[in-house]
Amino acid sequence: MKILSPIDKAEEAAPLAEAGADELYGGYVSRRWAKKFSLMGSPNHRYFPNAQVSALSDLKKIIRGARAGGARFFLAMNAPYYSQGQYALLLDDADDALSAGADAIIAADLGLILRLRERFPKLEVHLSTLGAVFNSMTPKFFRKLDVSRFVLPRELTVSESAEIIGNNPGSSFDAFIFIGKCPNVESFCGFTHNNPNLVWPCEEEYEIRAVRGDDRAKEIIEAQSGWSRINRRQACGLCAVKGLLDAGVYSLKIVGRGGPMAMKVGSVRAVKDALALILSGASEKELAEFSRKKYRETFGADCNPYVCYFPSDCNWARSISAAPNFIRS
Amino acid sequence: MKGNRKLYLAYYAQSVAAIKRAAASIAEINWVCDSVQPSPAGRSRFPLYRTGERVIRKNNPIRIYFGAEFCQWRLPSPKALFNALAAAKKIGSPFTLLTPWVTDAGIDKLRKLFSVLKDEAPDSEVVINDLGALVLLRDEFPGLAPSLGRVLIRQRRCPRVPAMMDNLPSEGREIYMRTGAEDPLSARLMRRYGIRRVELDYPLQGLETDLGAAKLKASLYTPYAFVTLTRHCPASFDGRTWQAFNRSGCKIKGCVKNILELRNSAHEAPLLMRGNAQFVASRAASGQGPALPDGIDRIVFMEDAP
């Protein structure tokens, strides 16, 4: 099982590889793209500068660094869709990245995948989580386009993931494991993510009232309000590593493009340690104890259902009351 | 385009009873359409565009939309679908089944519903919001006509967008005004799956889509534009986890009885949340919108947030 980590800067490559990342991914907004479309027209679904490589020379350094550390590099080009005027430049930027040694492109838009296939017939294309693989039939649609690696959505249970993987032999699947949970389904979310404070509409505070309701309205409002009281970035699925390994997940994906290097490296180490624990023969109970301890060390708080990647699989989450009384840290 | 556009009407029914009530609602829609003018404030629950476009009603019965776009646990049972089809038939309406994104459990549910449709109303449309469901439809029910739903059609619908439009370069604006449905290359692939129609929203910042090159027709939903959805459905939260994740389904009933309004000063309009999905009320529906883009030939009216 591989570990797939975000990377934003060349100096991160060596520490990430050393910590245990087998694969790295990042976003690149060329100067010509930024000038024409601005970062709000980002080609890779991240709309803030820290999450972008902005010079081709830097992208080349990242790829060289990844290679030196024995890791592969994937370029994210996973905007939900593009305008007709964007495709030509997108393909030119892909060409530059591939010439620099990028191993694959992570894409979501059907138009881009079709054009990548035309221009780079042998290119390894991964379907982004925005491709919405929620069932065993969806990969069959993309297999016809020679896409054989899929990033599963954040909202699948371990058993649903296992069912999809089992029904699609010959394909590889990535599962999210650490950092960056989304309250909403990213594939279908129409919110913008460009607030300079990096607080997105799914987590900001609202004045919520029931314009129509029954006796459950208060608890529904409370459940929805929980997202503004927690830090959804502090997400974790380490307890599920054994289940995901058994399910046949190919790579464990860490979120966090644009985050500090220390957090990226710490995340890779946490996932690497959890994986090593299971491979050494530890029980799921031992893994759960390790995971909760690791969570506390990393984030300075206890985990809870809102930040759990697999809340319906977690026996411990079931045993506690969520009592969403969390403080954003 | 103004004047001679043909706009057909569809009624988004949220229950079998709503279809049965549709006759009265349709009469009201009729009044608005026949007036070919914006409806006076308070006169109608179905404010129409102010474009003066001719709406085709005579000899074209209003189409019924029925089903679930956002949550597989809200899909009707086969029996309820059977009853809905009978009710639509009684008022002479063609039928469109709305379907959501689905897990494998949802695929099983869809297979049963498509079987009912194939047997009882084989000329029906199916709004598809999951590419796996599209594969299922093409492979096992090729006679049913799919339309790509608004969950799958990418549009920038966030209520924060209008405030940022002035800061975008002209070429950057385009992505916020257009839709993911226009690409002719993607549309060519989709035609192999039987797609001839797409379902669109009218976002707060407006819509400038051009479906000519893609050779697609479009339906436009009003007044509620879809913004986002979640599997962490607050109505399914039981204090520990979200029942919407259960393979056997969500046992908490009555999620749609509650409609929340979420207000934030940075948003152009409040969000409305019903069940697991959030919406904004479309500006176009208030009669303030510009002429509709070419390719749109159907208006889908919602009495309520879906």
Instruction: Indicate if the pLDDT at residue A323 is higher than 80.
Output: no
| Cβ contact B219:B298 at 8 Å | yes
The pLDDT value given to residue B290: 56
Q: Whose structure tokens read 């460009």? A: A194
CA distance A135 to B257: 29
Exposure letters B263-287 (e unless 16+ CB within 10 A, then b): eeeebebbbbbbbbbbbbbbbbbeb
CA distance B80 to B128: 19
Chain B residues within 8 A of A192 when measuring between CB atoms: 156, 158, 160-161, 164
| Closest partner CB to B263 (pick from A111, A187, A207) | A207
Instruction: Indicate if the pLDDT at residue B40 is higher than 80.
Output: no
What confidence tier does B254 reach under pLDDT thresholds 50, 70, 90?
confident
Q: What count of other Cβ atoms lies within 10 Å of the Cβ of residue A282?
A: 16
Rounded-to-10 torsion of CA A67, A175, B229, A323: -120
CA distance B232 to A311: 10
CA distance B245 to B303: 29
The pLDDT value given to residue B8: 78
Give me the phi and psi of A290, to 5 degrees please: -60, -45
User: In which domain, by residue range, is A61 found?
Assistant: 2-319
Interface test with A, best of B164, B224, B237 (most A CBs within 10 A): B237
Q: What's the CA angle centered on B212, arms B206 and B217, to 5 degrees?
A: 75
Does residue A151 fall inside a structural domain? Answer: yes
Q: DSSP assignment of A92-115, as one string?
A: HHHHHHHHTT--EEEE--HHHHHH
Does residue A66 fall inside a structural domain? Answer: yes
Distances (CA, A) of A3 to A174, B159, B294: 9, 36, 47
- The CATH number of whichever domain residue A152 belongs to comes to 3.20.20.70
| Cβ contact A44:A112 at 8 Å | no
Lowest mean pLDDT among A88-97, A318-327, B60-69: A318-327
Strand partners, B95: B64
Chain A residues within 8 A of B148 when measuring between CB atoms: none
Domain architecture of chain B: domains with CATH: 8-224+283-302 (3.20.20)
Does residue A324 fall inside a structural domain? Answer: no
Inter-chain touch A83–B234, beta carbons under 8 Å: no
Q: Does a cis peptide bond (omega within 30 degrees of 0) precede residue B142?
A: no
Does residue A326 fall inside a structural domain? Answer: no
pLDDT tens track for B193-210: 999 999 999 898 888 888
Report the gap between the CA of B152 and the closest CA in chain A (Å). Answer: 7
User: Which is more confidently placed, A9 or B298?
Assistant: A9
CA distance B214 to A84: 12
Q: What count of other Cβ atoms lies within 10 Å of the Cβ of residue B239?
A: 13
Report the gap between the CA of A83 and the closest CA in chain B (Å). Answer: 5
Structural domain tally of chain A?
A: 1
The pLDDT value given to residue B41: 40
CA distance A155 to B276: 13
Average confidence score pLDDT of chain A: 94
Strand partners, B242: B237
The three-state DSSP-derived secondary structure of A23-53 is EEEEEECCHHHHHHHCHHHCCCCCCCHHHEE
What confidence tier does B36 reach under pLDDT thresholds 50, 70, 90?
very low
Q: Span B265-290, mean pLDDT?
A: 80
Chain A residues within 8 A of B168 when measuring between CB atoms: 38, 40-41
Does residue A138 fall inside a structural domain? Answer: yes
What confidence tier does A320 reach under pLDDT thresholds 50, 70, 90?
low
The one-letter code for the residue type at B120 is E
| Cβ contact B31:B47 at 8 Å | no
Q: DSSP assignment of A175-215, as one string?
A: EEEES---SS-GGG-------TT---TTTS--EEEEEE--T
Q: Which residue in chain A is spatially nearest to B279 when comparing CA positions?
A: A190
Inter-chain touch B155–A190, beta carbons under 8 Å: yes
State both tokens at A139: 């990969």
| Closest partner CB to A155 (pick from B231, B264, B267) | B231
Instruction: With CA atoms as reference, report the closest residue to B13 among B71, B112, B85, B110.
Output: B85
Does residue A325 fall inside a structural domain? Answer: no
The pLDDT value given to residue B42: 38
**Judged by CB atoms within 8 Å, which residues 153-212 of A form the interface with B?**
155-157, 159-160, 163-164, 167, 183-185, 187-192, 194-195, 201-202, 204-212
Lowest mean pLDDT among A16-20, B78-82, B291-295: B291-295
Which secondary-structure segment (H or E) carries B259?
strand B259-263
ipTM: 0.94
Q: Which residue in chain A is spatially nearest to B185 when comparing CA positions?
A: A111
Distances (CA, A) of B304 to A150, B18, B273: 37, 11, 11
Does residue A6 fall inside a structural domain? Answer: yes
Does residue A327 fall inside a structural domain? Answer: no
CA distance B46 to B29: 6
Report the gap between the CA of A142 and the closest CA in chain B (Å). Answer: 9
- Interface contacts (A, B; CB < 8 Å): 225
CA distance B240 to A224: 13
